[in-house]
Chains A and B, each alone.
Chain A
Amino acid sequence: MRTIALPLAAAFLAALFIIAPFGTEPETASSETSPELARLNAQLAALQGQVHRLGDAQRGTTLQVRNLADGQEPASDEPAGLEDEGPARGERAEADEVAALERASAQVELLEHTLGQEKVDPAWGPWAEGELMRTLGQLDGASEIAAQCTATLCRMELAFETARAQEQSIERLGSLTPWDGQGFLQMDRESLELVLYIARDGESLPRAG
């Protein structure tokens, strides 16, 4: 028995050490693929930025050469192309903001859809509405207050008398919300309305995208 067991053990261990590296390789590769891809993407983005800036610089130089050929003075003492950097950066920031606003709009749409689909939990909904009115309803300068809670989500609507009161309310949101958890807000600075979407304690808000 002993003579059989020992060679078997040796063979098993040998096989284990041979197989183990191959067995772990895919896991290592997959866990490192994401950071590697992210790094490559970041490099690509940086290169794209450089190409963009070089394009701006080339356009600026071409313009200056043309102006000189026409006998005109250069537009400024700045190095060629730098004057185009500001507007280019501004356009990127603007596109960034538009994309973020679209994401926010999709998020509100999803939350409204969820509220419309969910049934009211009679054991929680009325209590939660009362708590929200008792706490957030007491925000300075708030009027026309309404709260609606379903099974996992509440929606609270407030209108403010002044822009300052509306802004101050955002600062006090966290300390006044009756339970811990996630929320999403949409504040209209022209109508002075504020809509809050608040997840039930222990629940997560649904996310668009």
Chain B
Amino acid sequence: MKTISILIATVVVALAIAGASSTSFAISVPPSSEYTAHFCQSHESTIEYSWSRLYNTSSTADVTFHCPIVNTYSGRIGWLEAKVVDRHYDRDIRCTVKNLLTNEYLATGWWQTLSSSGSDANVQTLGFGSIGGTGTYHHFTMNCTVPRTYSGNRSSINGYRVFEN
């Protein structure tokens, strides 16, 4: 019985090693662009940049940040994630990513909106999927509305990352 147990354990370990060695070759990382929150701008004065984070310091008003995404023409947005810290008890951080094609006659394209949840000192990740197509005249943007402070706690955008495919 003991021999069979050892045999089974050996097989399981061997399978785990074989599996791990095969998956390590299968991973391929798409090109990505990392943006700190310093790229974002706002019309409001109640904002503060600190340690690459961007805070809303107002105790009375929510603030919208406008964050650029460079169109590199090398691919489409396969995945985009925004790192945020939501410290407000009942208001959320709400981010919208837009991919618009514009000219003098029209504007057309996709958008997607995601919100944080709860109130937490930890970083939350808002994960957007593929946002439309790409091309010379496409413009990518992300807007995030960050709630006012709650009991002195400030909410922030910490950064965002764009994966191309």
Contact = CB atoms under 8 A, between A and B. Distances in A.
B119 interface: no
Contacts of A188: 105-106
A189 B137 CA distance: 16
B14 A17 contact: yes
A20 B138 CA distance: 46
Contact of B94 (A93, A174, A189): A174
Contacts of B96: 173-175
Interface residues on A, range: 35 or more
A57 interface: no
Contacts of B112: 181-183
B70 interface: no
A31 B137 CA distance: 32
Given A16-B11, A28-B26, A189 B104 contact: yes
A170 interface: yes
A181 B22 contact: no
Given A24-B21, A175-B96, A100 B11 contact: no
A118 interface: no
A103 B104 CA distance: 18
B137 A104 contact: no
Contacts, number: 121
B127 interface: no
Contacts of A96: 135-137
Contacts of B109: 104, 184-185
A199 to B, nearest CB: 9
B3 interface: yes
Contacts of B7: 5, 9
Contacts of A185: 100, 107-109, 111
Contacts of B149: none
B67 to A, nearest CB: 12
Interface string B10-50: 11001100100110011010000000000000000000000
Contact of B105 (A13, A31, A190): A190
Nearest to A182: B112
A190 B25 CA distance: 54
Nearest to A99: B135
Q: Chain B CB within 10 Å — which of A32, A35, A174, A182 has the most?
A: A174
Given A9-B7, A16-B15, A174 B111 contact: yes
A205 B131 CA distance: 11
A124 interface: no
B153 interface: no
A175 B11 contact: no
Nearest to A32: B28
28 contacts: A1-B3, A5-B7, A9-B7, A9-B10, A9-B11, A13-B14, A23-B22, A24-B26, A28-B25, A93-B136, A97-B103, A100-B137, A101-B108, A170-B100, A170-B107, A174-B96, A174-B111, A174-B143, A181-B112, A182-B112, A183-B110, A183-B111, A185-B107, A185-B109, A185-B111, A188-B105, A189-B104, A190-B105
Given A13-B14, A103-B133, A177-B113, 5 more contacts: A24-B21, A24-B25, A28-B22, A100-B101, A183-B112
